[in-house]
Structure 1
Amino acid sequence: MTEQKTISKGAWAELALLGLIWGGSFLAIRIALDEVPVVTSVFHRTFWAMLVLWGVVAIQRLPVPKDPRIWGAFLVMGLLNNVIPFGLMSWGQLYIETGLTSILNATTAIFAVIVAAMIFADERLTPRKIIGVGLGFLGVATAIGLEAFDSFDLRSTAQFAILGGTVSYALASSWGRLKLGDLPPQVAAAGMLTGSTLVLAPAAWLIDGPISLDLEPRTWMAIGYYAIVATAGAYLLYYRILAKAGSGNLMVVTLLIPPVAITLGALVRDEALLPQAYVGFVLLALGLMVLNGGFGKARD
């Protein structure tokens, strides 16, 4: 039987750091959206992060792939992991709270487990994982509010847009392991962001108009955080963990994000969530713990 991927103690430490970094990104994105249009905001995220990562690749003198197939894989990865989810989630955050966005984002782990089980022999879908998935979906439905399924409005549509972004993230983690797993994390992340930027540059110009750099200092600080720290830095961790723990386990990081995002949203933007959102998060957390077999069972 194929040995299954697990999360080591070292990988758990890196997941915790990644969760802390990405938890802060939701607030930074929301602050930037007060002044910057959605597609342009996403362009800023990928463009500046791309420059930083290619700088790292150059300093470390890492080999740059020449195979056109790898560059094609970069483009697909950029679409799945950046363009589609960043766009959907940024738009969704215009209409719902930072904390609820982060809770819905945690469903990435559910979708990632399902997709990974369909592709990789060492990440198969076991009865335990099926129970975890069921609890996770129940948590999502509770957080959204079952009444949201009765009729669509901007708020409920925004929530489903964010869920669409999580599906894209889930597909991306498996694609990254399948096509880019053998590359150094620095090169994989830089190439992915290059693919994203090539798509976003013309899209931002056509949809939002000319890209302005005349922004408030508060906006530049937000962009700096979510582009340099929460994208360039975070994706170096992302590919390291992907190689160690597998695509499904990597997305458990989304469970660690909501407490950070909810706290920051409440402190900085006076955001409040309905009690059902917290109940939904607890159910989602329980489902993810079941999926992973309990946090205390990770191997060294």
Structure 2
Amino acid sequence: MSTAPLSTASAPAAPPSPAVSQLSIAVQFTLAGVVWGSSFLFMKVALEGISPAQVAWSRLVLGALALGLFVLLRREALPRQLRIWGHMTVLAVSFCVVPFLLFSWAQQHVTSGLASIYNATTPIMTAIMAALLFRVEKLKGLQMAGIGLGIVGVVVIIAPWAGLDLSQSLIAQLAILGATACYGFSLAYMRKFVSNTGMSALMFSFLNIGIGAAIMVLLTPVLVLTPVRLDPWIVVSVVLLGCLGTGVAYIWNQNTVRAWGPTRASTVTYITPLVGVLLGTLILGERLSWNEPVGAVIVFLGILLAQDRLRRRRRNDEGADAAASTPPPSR
């Protein structure tokens, strides 16, 4: 996504209902990762005939229409509190409008695979924003080391030893990092200001995308009224990017978050760059430099540390071992 999984701010994680099997959740988790990983390919193809602003406009409007259809079918009521609408407007700008425009512009100058790799820096950005800007969590030493490691990974991807000529490619890479910084800001903002709104996952997603679409519609005379060149591939890419990548996939992700919890659900971050790089290589014939996958691995290691997953996994393993060694209670 130009994608980032939505926060659980709309509701606390809960075990899946009997009607929703673990298999169904696993399928939705996988589909969300595949669709979001494919979004970089869809953007690249769409940019062959329409402008970056038109790509952002189309995906938001189509995503809002798709989510709005689900809201109508479920007959969900819109929230009435002005406070919620204010916070969701902030999120629409920071989580949708600005990063979507940045990603669309940047992909004119970088490969879809590289864009998908940079998108994986979102958890690093979230940790920084949550700790330093909103102060909704305190970073431990190991987490700070993880952020530092993630920054090292980004430097490896940029490859300054090859020379920095301030070309459009470098500026585009910085623009993508700006987009993931917007995602990090938004996810931390969700946690601080909209964690107890009572909105359903669907309504939360609809307001986020829908307000973003409304903003883009208002900006149509300024950003969107430029010539277009359409062919079947461009049209299909735009429809899939909007209806699936900016619509249905958000519902899949929220269902996963509520069934598995935020930590496990956010591992979708690891799927999207794999899909993005694979599709870019196979379909668009893109080539990776050695430093890009190496930098991506370093970023992923940084994410594990920044989210304290290694220690959490170790504690879980110890708890499981202790439970296994405890004799069952007598009857």
Q: TM-score, normalised by structure 2?
A: 0.79
Shift of 1:49: 1.0
Q: Is residue 2:104 matched to residue 1:90?
A: yes
The aligned residue for residue 203 of structure 1 is 219
Structure 1's 241 and 175: CA in aligned 2 closer, same or farther, altered over 3 A?
farther
- Residues 208-249 of structure 1, C-alpha deviation per residue, up to 9 Å, x if partnerless? 31686x832211210121111111112224444566645x87
Q: Is residue 2:303 matched to residue 1:288?
A: yes
What is the letter of the counterpart of residue 22 of structure 1? W
1:134-283 to structure 2, matched below 5 A, reads: 134-147=148-161, 150-181=164-195, 182-209=198-225, 215-240=230-255, 245-246=261-262, 252-283=267-298
The answer to whether the Cα contact below 8 Å between 1:109 and 1:252 also exists between their aligned partners in 2 is no
Partner of 2:78, secondary structure, is coil
Distance 2:221 2:315 in 1: 47
The answer to whether the Cα contact below 8 Å between 2:63 and 2:247 also exists between their aligned partners in 1 is yes
Q: TM-score, normalised by structure 1?
A: 0.86
Shift of 1:59: 1.0
Which stretch of the first structure deviates more once superposed, 58-67 or 234-243? 234-243
Structure 1's 245 and 158: CA in aligned 2 closer, same or farther, altered over 3 A?
same
Which stretch of the first structure deviates more once superposed, 231-240 or 88-97? 231-240
Shift of 1:44: 0.7
- Residues 73-126 of structure 1, C-alpha deviation per residue, up to 9 Å, x if partnerless? 2211111111111110111100011111111111111011122234465x4312
Identity %: 27
Partner of 2:219, secondary structure, is helix
1:59-138 to structure 2, matched below 5 A, reads: 59-118=73-132, 119=134, 121=136, 123-138=137-152
What is the letter of the counterpart of residue 262 of structure 1? V
The answer to whether the Cα contact below 8 Å between 1:85 and 1:166 also exists between their aligned partners in 2 is yes
Distance 2:50 2:186 in 1: 26
* Structure 1: segments with no counterpart, 5+ residues: none
Distance 2:306 2:145 in 1: 8
* Structure 2: segments with no counterpart, 5+ residues: 1-11, 17-21, 321-331
- Residues 35-66 of structure 1, C-alpha deviation per residue, up to 9 Å, x if partnerless? 11111111110111111111111111112112
Distance 1:46 1:297 in 2: 41
The answer to whether the Cα contact below 8 Å between 2:149 and 2:301 also exists between their aligned partners in 1 is yes
Larger Rg: 2
- Residues 159-210 of structure 1, C-alpha deviation per residue, up to 9 Å, x if partnerless? 0000000000111112233344431111111111121112212324322316
Shift of 1:297: 5.4
What is the letter of the counterpart of residue 219 of structure 2? A
Distance 1:24 1:204 in 2: 26
What is the letter of the counterpart of residue 67 of structure 2? L
Shift of 1:255: 3.1
Distance 2:95 2:53 in 1: 15
Partner of 1:270, secondary structure, is coil
What is the letter of the counterpart of residue 243 of structure 2? I
Distance 1:252 1:111 in 2: 15
